[in-house]
Amino acid sequence: MIDENEIDPSIAEPVALSPEQELMLRRIEQFLYYEARLQDLHAYDAWESLWTDDAIYWIPANGENPDPETQMSYVYDNRSRIGVRIKQLKTGKRHTQTPRSQLARIISNIEFIAQNGDEFEVRANAFIYEDSLRGETTWAARNEYRLRLVDNKLKLVRKKVVLVNNNKPIYTLSFLV
Amino acid sequence: MLSRPDFHALIKENRVHSSLYYDERVFQEELENIWYKTWVYVGHVSEVPKKNDYVTKAIGPTPILMVHDRHGNISLLQNKCPHRGNQLCAYQKGNRTSFTCPYHAWTFANSGELVGLAFPDGYEGVDKSEFSLGKVPRIAIYRGLVFGSFAKEGPSLEEHLGDAKRALDQMLDNSPEGELELTAGFLQHRTKANWKFVLENETDGYHPGSVHGSIFQVASSPVPALYKPESLALTRDYGNGHTEFDLRPQWRHVGKPMYWFNTTAEKLPLYTEAMKKAYGEQRSQEIMIDGSPHIMIFPNLFIAEIQMFVIQPVSVNETIQHVTALQFKGAPDFNRRLRQQTMGSVGPAGFLLADDTEMYERNHRGALINNPEWIVLTRGEKRETRDEDGHRIGHSTDEVTQRGIWRHYLKLMTEQA
């Protein structure tokens, strides 16, 4: 904990899923594994195409839930900035990813949190092994997703990656997390 | 006992020896002669706005508690219980009037004095005033910027800053109220590299075209032109290790307010109005054309136009860059954009700093290769001139700044106190 006056988040119990939601959870799992694979393999265009136009990609710093509009985050990208990030990676001159990080990640603890019409709130944990010129690095994160069904395909509307050590000094994080 | 490195043999006017970046003995000498001696930037008063606020900061590898103490003063305390040496405070920030050591419950006022002992009957006749927390002996605040020095005597902060103070004034002029407020929190970017690679790169104008080519290619900005052969921007060595890019010649040539920030005055109407009100039509125009400076205050405070970086060496081969967006008091619309742009550029995932930091790590690994042994700093040596104040200047891509840093470094490492 960074601030000794910080309040612990409340812990919600798991929701009871309808049979349709049970099936949707399977699709969500498949979608998150697919996203993970695209990231591990640096499939930049395919990953970018997962995002909706109103997307937010957020990696906060200094806690679980700071206000991204007033506090520094590692990443706080709207759709346009996600595009710049991908374009930069694709120039072949993004030195920190030339050569690319070698990656494998585990996505687990996938939880269906809520459904609002065509949108689904989901949580998962991510554990990522990275090998780069610098050496081996492991990353651990609690992820929160808002997914939306668009033309019967799941899309990323919002992804929040809470690195468990986001209040500490961290190494360069230039692959897609 | 290890012998002392011969710094005169390792540092020449236009080249330095690779071992300066990896030799553990050099690092220990730096702690003694730089980090625990000269003025080092610690933090900003706006990080502890209320009485009894504290934040954990650092001078080199040593943690420091910066406290807005119970008397209303800024104190720089060492985070160590004077009883058995236990780490006193384990949090990064908070608000409290006293600190109690978790080991034997000695309690200290947030201004450092021992105020309570558990089971005092075993300490008959003890003078509590002998057990105050360690303090950074000298503290000086320049317009909200808090510096500390572990040397009980030495040059004043104003003497240390010299003419580089003007660049800090230039930065603060960008606020309608002439003040910073650092409220956005810091990112901490860790790198496996010696701190001097970071220091030297901050005013290296030769690298942006190649290191940052990827982002220059995909996002338009007036920045790339600053570091091309036809640029009017200058490198300057202010002495005392302080170096800058003086971007003003280029911005003045263009002559458009807020061009330096890749925008126009019209797109920041509230800010433009506040600046006019504060400084008048003419002066506000000048400030908004000149923009914010690019200045490296030796050894650890770097203002990169819109960001503040604080460089912290942790060991000979590990450094932390602490970075936040500059926030100018009285400029909410501008501040919002400063945060957005900073978040894109810097930190571990930043479009710019992730690549700079990649270079620091490759630099460090390169230093360990034993042939060639020397690092070359000759660029622009023949065209170096002096400005009207006698400071060395050169083209924006020249190594005037690195030579200046090493000239001061050699002086610090070889002068006997």
Q: Are B259 and B222 in contact (CB under 8 A)?
A: yes
Range of the domain at A126: 19-163
- Give the end-to-end CA distance of chain B in Å, rounded to a whole number: 21
Taking the CA atoms of B280, B281, B286 and B292 in sequence, report the sign of the dihedral they define: positive
Return the half-sphere exposure (C-beta side, CA atoms, 13 A cut-off) of residue B26.
21
For residue A12, the model assigns a pLDDT of 80
Q: Are A93 and A114 in contact (CB under 8 A)?
A: no
Give chain B's radius of gyration (CA, Å): 22
Taking 80 as the threshold, does the pLDDT of residue A5 lie above it? no
Could you give the angle at the alpha carbon of B90 between the alpha carbons of B108 and A173, nearest 5°?
Answer: 150
Q: Rounded to an integer, what distance in angstroms lies between the CA atom of residue A108 and that of residue A128?
A: 11
Model confidence at A32, pLDDT cuts 50, 70, 90, reads very high
Per-window interface: B 333-362 vs A, CB < 8 A: 336, 339-340, 342-344, 347-349, 351, 354-355, 357-359, 361-362
| Average confidence (pLDDT) over A14-39 | 97
Q: Are B234 and B248 in contact (CB under 8 A)?
A: no
| Cα-based torsion angle of the residue sequence B407, B410, B414, B416 in order, rounded to the nearest 10 degrees | 60
Indicate yes or no: CB of A96 within 8 angstroms of CB of B95: no
What is the identity of the amino acid at B128? K
For chain B, the domains span 41-142, 162-414
Per the structure, how many domains does chain A have?
1
Long-range contacts of B27-30 (CB under 8 A, 24+ apart): B27/B194, B27/B313, B27/B315, B27/B316, B29/B4, B29/B5, B29/B413, B30/B313, B30/B413
The 3-state DSSP class for residue A19 equals helix
Q: Rounded to an integer, what distance in angstroms lies between the CA atom of residue B320 and that of residue B190?
A: 4
Smallest Cα distance from A102 to chain B, Å: 16
Question: Which one-letter DSSP state was computed for residue A3?
Answer: B
For residue A98, the model assigns a pLDDT of 97
For residue A10, the model assigns a pLDDT of 66
What is the identity of the amino acid at B315? S
In a domain, A132, yes or no: yes
Smallest Cα distance from B235 to chain A, Å: 25
A and B: number of Cβ contacts within 8 A = 118
Q: Is B211 on the interface with A (CB under 8 A)?
A: yes
pLDDT in tens, chain B (417 residues): 568 999 999 999 999 999 999 999 999 999 999 999 999 999 999 999 999 999 999 999 999 999 999 999 999 999 999 999 999 999 999 999 999 999 999 999 999 999 999 999 999 889 999 999 999 999 999 999 999 999 999 999 999 999 999 999 999 999 999 999 999 999 999 999 999 999 999 999 999 999 999 999 999 999 999 999 999 999 999 999 999 999 999 999 999 999 999 999 999 999 999 999 999 999 999 999 999 999 999 999 999 999 999 999 999 999 999 999 999 999 999 999 999 999 999 999 999 999 999 999 999 999 999 999 999 999 999 999 999 999 999 999 999 999 999 999 999 999 864
The 3-state DSSP class for residue A31 equals helix
Q: Are B176 and B331 in contact (CB under 8 A)?
A: yes
The 3-state DSSP class for residue A147 equals strand
For residue B74, the model assigns a pLDDT of 98
- Of B41, B29, B86, B102, the closest CA to residue B66 belongs to B41
What is the identity of the amino acid at B287? I
Percent of chain A with pLDDT over 70: 94
Pairing label, strands A51-60, A153-163: parallel
Q: Which residues in chain A have their CB less than 8 angstroms from residue B320's CB?
A: 169
Q: Rounded to an integer, what distance in angstroms lies between the CA atom of residue B403 and that of residue B200?
A: 9
Indicate yes or no: CB of B93 within 8 angstroms of CB of A75: no
Out of 3.40.50.720, 3.40.50.1970, 2.30.110.10, 3.90.380.10, the CATH code matching B162-414 is: 3.90.380.10
Give this complex's ipTM.
Answer: 0.96
For residue A73, the model assigns a pLDDT of 98
Q: Is B324 on the interface with A (CB under 8 A)?
A: yes
Q: What does residue B257 show for φ and ψ, rounded to 5 degrees?
A: -60, 135
Q: Beta-strand (E) ranges in A8-95? A: 51-60, 73-78
**The domain defined by B41-142 carries CATH number 2.102.10.10:** yes
pLDDT in tens, A118-173: 999 999 999 999 999 999 999 999 999 999 999 999 999 999 999 999 999 999 99
pLDDT in tens, A84-121: 999 999 999 999 999 999 999 999 999 999 999 999 99
From chain A, which residues contact B within 8 Å (Cβ)? 1-5, 59, 61-62, 66, 69-76, 81, 84-85, 87-88, 91-96, 133-135, 167-174
For residue A70, the model assigns a pLDDT of 97
Q: Rounded to an integer, what distance in angstroms lies between the CA atom of residue B133 and that of residue B102?
A: 15
For residue B1, the model assigns a pLDDT of 54
